[in-house]
Amino acid sequence: MKKTILFFCSIFIFNSQLVAEHTKLSVLNCNTQVYASRTDTIQFKKHDPKKASWLALIPGAGQIYNKKYWKLPTVYGGLGASGFLVYYYANRAIPLTKEYVARINGEIENLNPDWADISNETILNDRNYNRRNMEISIAAFAIVYALSVLDACVDAHLYYYDVSDDLSIGVKPKLDYTPFYGTITPSLALVIKF
C-alpha cells in the first residue's frame, strides 16, 4: 500500500513539473510580459515606441532597436547624400558670395583672379543657384532625419502586429432577401477574416 501511494505521489509531482514547464513555454511563446513560475518571476520588457523614438534621434538607432537592420542603408544613404549635397553647394556658394560682395564694395585685393573675366550678374546668378540648391539639400536632410524618427516610432507601434495567414479580406457575391417586398437583391459583400 505504501509503495502504491509513493508511486502515485511521484507521478503527481513529476506530472505537475511537466505542466509547469509547459506553462512556462506557452507563456514565453505568447509574447506575454510576465513569466511566472513557482520559484521566481522575471519581467519581460515590452517593446516601447517612446524608447524607439528617443533612440532614433541618433540616426539608425531606432531601426536597430526595432531589429529592422535592412533599413539602415536607406537611413544612412539618405542622410549621407543630402549631407554631401549641403557641403558641396555651400563650398560653391560661399566663395561666390565673397566675390560678389568684394566686387560691389570695390575691394580689389579680395577679388579672385580666376573670375576676372566673369560679369557681376553671372557671379550673382551662380551664387543664387548654388545657395538655392544648398537650402533644398538642408531641407532634404531634415526630411530624411524626421522620416527616420517617424519610421522607428511606427515600427515600434507595429512590432507585435499580427501578419499571419489567418488575416484576409475579400469580396463575395451575396443575395439579400427583402421580406417586405418579397424580392431577392444581388449584391457584393466585403468579408474580413480575423
Do 81 and 129 share a structural domain?
yes
Which pLDDT does position 175 carry in this prediction? Answer: 86
Q: Where are the beta strands (DSSP E) in the chain?
A: 34-36, 41-43, 168-178, 183-193
Say how far residue 20 (Cα) sits from the centre of its chain.
38
Position 71 in a domain: yes
Residue-wise pLDDT for 64-88, tens only, equals 999 999 999 999 999 999 999 999 9
Mean pLDDT of 188-192: 83
d(CA 89, CA 115): 18
Position 105 in a domain: yes
Position with higher pLDDT, 183 vs 39: 183
Identify the sign of the CA torsion 169, 170, 172, 177. Answer: positive
Contact status, residue 131 vs residue 104, Cβ threshold 8 Å: no
pLDDT band at 180 (very low <50, low <70, confident <90, very high): confident
Which pLDDT does position 42 carry in this prediction? Answer: 55
Do 139 and 71 share a structural domain?
yes
**Residue 194: how many other CB atoms lie within 10 Å:** 6
pLDDT at 29 over 70: no
Do 17 and 80 share a structural domain?
no
As given in the structure block, the three cell numbers for residue 165 are 495567414
Q: Which residue range forms the structural domain that includes residue 54?
A: 50-157
Position 162 in a domain: no
Phi-psi region of 104 (alpha: psi -120 to 50; beta: other; left: phi over 0): alpha
Domain count, the chain: 2
As given in the structure block, the three cell numbers for residue 147 are 522620416
Do 108 and 68 share a structural domain?
yes
Position 175 in a domain: no
Least confident of 10-14, 128-132, 178-182: 10-14
Position 188 in a domain: no
Do 87 and 20 share a structural domain?
no
Which burial class, exposed, middle or buried, applies to 127 when counting CB atoms under 10 A from its CB (0-12, 13-18, 19+)? Answer: buried
Torsion angles phi and psi, residue 176, rounded to 5: -105, 130
Do 151 and 58 share a structural domain?
yes
The pLDDT > 70 percentage for the chain reads 73
As given in the structure block, the three cell numbers for residue 116 are 576676372
Mean pLDDT of 45-57: 86
Which residues fall within 8 angstroms of residue 57, CB to CB, at 6 or more apart? 149
Do 111 and 20 share a structural domain?
no
pLDDT at 11 over 80: no
Do 58 and 37 share a structural domain?
no
Mean pLDDT of 189-193: 81
Torsion angles phi and psi, residue 116, rounded to 5: -65, -35
